Amino acid sequence: MEYLTLTLVYLFLFLIVFYLSKYFKWIDIPNKRKIHKYPIYNTGGLIFYSFYLIVVSQYELNNNIELIISVGFFIVIGGFIDDRKDIEPLTKIFIILLPSAYLIYNGFFISDLGKYEVIGPIYLGKFEIPFIILAIGLLVNATNYIDGVDGLLLSFFSTCLIYYIFLVDDQELKKLLLILLLPIIFNLILNLTTQKSGLKFFTGDTGSLFIGFFLCFITIELYNNFRIHPTFLIWPLWYPIYDFLYVTSNRIKKGEPFLNPDKSHFHQIIFFRLKKNHYLTTLLFNLLNLSILICGYFLSTHSKIVSLTIFILGFFLYSFFRLKIKI
């Protein structure tokens, strides 16, 4: 009965955002850089974030996760403005770091990267704050980059939430994560509808920036308060980390602005190789993502130091592979 009520809440929010988007023309207009052919509503993030706010107000949640969602309001507002008129990259970074700084001030940071066989704990020391700031900037921008093929970002986020549900033992947290997953699944269905249906919604920067922000701080929360080792937590994030580092370093090497959007991301290359088939691209990505995530989980179960080493080496293998393929 509870999930039926939550589904009705989602439908109510969907109708509100749908009519507001239609009335105010909150849409994503096609251009040379974008791959859709018709104007699409880009307010999908508003739907699921509004759902999250209602959950925060009606349920007794884990206080830290409630704080992450509440403070994420400023990220959502910044993303919404960016969807209406493109914000300068540096301004966007400021919008991301301001609420992040508030959470860091309230204890959302890590002092070490976990304990490993042979070498023991890896302490960050005086690099605690710089590390977390860089990690936030990387992951928020990286998840934003993923939002380029229908269903890709939302299926990626869904996989992360399902993985966290599998990892944690706390039943209350499991239930909360399942509730947070619900609107993402519904949004994914909307995102995968045809462009001509009139019901298709993009997540937009409104949602993609929040997803990156949420993943950053839920990762910190799971390590600090639920004692899940970092090697288990880095594997669901392998793709945004690898792709962001590769694309950014490649742009810097070419003397290009490293925050400017382009079509050099791995998922975009797959998309064009598959003759612009959104569904097949998303399916293949999820099969690859799930395979690597399962391997990463078992590696972490077997040996933490081996898992971390292979994760780092994986980036160089990914980079080598990327050098061999062209758009």
Residue 258, pLDDT score = 66
Residue 238, pLDDT score = 96
Residue 86, pLDDT score = 81
Mean pLDDT confidence for 2-27: 93
- Residue 71 placed within a domain: yes
Residue 79, pLDDT score = 94
- Residue 72 placed within a domain: yes
Three-state DSSP at 149 gives coil
Mean pLDDT confidence for 200-225: 94
pLDDT 10s digits, 266-317? 998 899 889 888 999 999 999 999 999 999 999 999 999 999 999 999 999 9
| Residue whose tokens read 């288990």 | 232
Using a 10 angstrom Cβ sphere, with 0-12 exposed, 13-18 middle and 19 or more buried, the burial of residue 29 is: exposed
pLDDT band at 326 (very low <50, low <70, confident <90, very high): low
The Cα-based distances of 172 to 62, 67, 130, 178, 231 in angstroms read: 8, 16, 33, 10, 23
| Six token digits for residue 131 | 């590390």
- Residue 142 placed within a domain: yes
| Residue whose tokens read 């945004």 | 240
Phi, psi of 256 (to 5 degrees): -95, 155
Q: Find out whether 153 and 143 touch, Cβ atoms under 8 Å.
A: yes
Using a 10 angstrom Cβ sphere, with 0-12 exposed, 13-18 middle and 19 or more buried, the burial of residue 317 is: exposed
| Six token digits for residue 1 | 């009965």
Largest CA distance in the chain: 62
Three-state DSSP at 320 gives helix
Residue 3, pLDDT > 90, answer no
Using a 10 angstrom Cβ sphere, with 0-12 exposed, 13-18 middle and 19 or more buried, the burial of residue 65 is: buried
* Cα 288 to chain centroid, rounded: 17
Number of domains in the chain: 1
The CA distance from 308 to 302, in Å, is 11
Query: Can you state the angle between helices 204-226 and 152-167, rounded to 10 degrees?
Result: 20
Q: What end-to-end distance do the CA atoms of the chain give, in Å?
A: 49
| Six token digits for residue 207 | 């949602």
Residue 15, pLDDT > 70, answer yes
Strand partners, 123: 112
Residue 1, pLDDT > 60, answer no
Q: Find out whether 217 and 114 touch, Cβ atoms under 8 Å.
A: no
Mean pLDDT confidence for 173-194: 92
pLDDT band at 145 (very low <50, low <70, confident <90, very high): confident
- Residue 275 placed within a domain: no
Helix (H) / strand (E) containing 28? strand 27-28
pLDDT 10s digits, 72-108? 999 999 999 999 988 888 888 889 999 999 999 998 9
Mean pLDDT confidence for 104-113: 91
Structural domain of 67: 2-228
Q: Would you say how long the chain is, in residues?
A: 327
Residue 31, pLDDT score = 65
Instruction: Kindly report the average pLDDT of the chain as a whole number.
Output: 90
- Residue 91 placed within a domain: yes
The pairing of beta strand 120-123 with beta strand 112-116: antiparallel
- Residue 122 placed within a domain: yes
Give me the DSSP letters along 256-278. --TTS--S-SHHHHHHHHTTS-H
- Residue 132 placed within a domain: yes
Residue 131, pLDDT > 70, answer yes
155: amino acid identity, one letter: S
| Six token digits for residue 165 | 């549900």
Closest CA to 229 of 100, 117, 312: 117
Residue 259, pLDDT score = 66
The Cα-based distances of 215 to 1, 87, 116, 212, 249 in angstroms read: 29, 22, 23, 5, 23
Residue 261, pLDDT > 70, answer no
pLDDT 10s digits, 240-250? 999 999 998 88
| Six token digits for residue 47 | 């739907």
pLDDT 10s digits, 24-51? 999 887 766 666 667 889 999 999 999 9
The CA distance from 104 to 148, in Å, is 30
Phi, psi of 263 (to 5 degrees): -120, 35
- Residue 48 placed within a domain: yes
